[in-house]
Amino acid sequence: MNRPEWLSAVDPSEDDDWEHGSEPRPRGRVELDREGAERGLAGLVLTLVELIRQLMERQAVRRMEHGDLNEAQIEEMGTTLMALAEQMEQLRDHFGLSAEDLNLDLGPLGSLLPRDRA
């Protein structure tokens, strides 16, 4: 049985329960690397920002379809959303994350972000 990635910081010799199929109970020293922690935190924050960005984009489309926006507002919103999408791509590149890395698997509920947009 493969150990999950989140458990990779635990010394395997300290965790003999994992090999027997039971839940792991780390008893040893946990070694964290700064780069991995930074990347994990960046991934979490960027996931939340991407979720909000997509929600804002959907709301903008709804408002446009309902005729709530004039041409100038539509142009400004489109420009802003495109700039945010570009910034997200730059941040993902900076932290070595792909769009799929930001898409959390929610188990039976599916994925957090639509697969075609993540």
Confidence (pLDDT) at 33:
77
Lowest mean pLDDT among 8-17, 32-41, 70-79: 8-17
Helices and strands: H and E segment counts in the chain? 2, 0
Determine the Cα–Cα distance for residues 96 and 89; give it in Å rounded to an integer. 10
Confidence (pLDDT) at 3:
44
Statement: residue 74 has pLDDT above 70: yes
Quote the mean pLDDT of the chain.
78
Statement: residue 15 has pLDDT above 50: no
Position with higher pLDDT, 75 vs 104 = 75
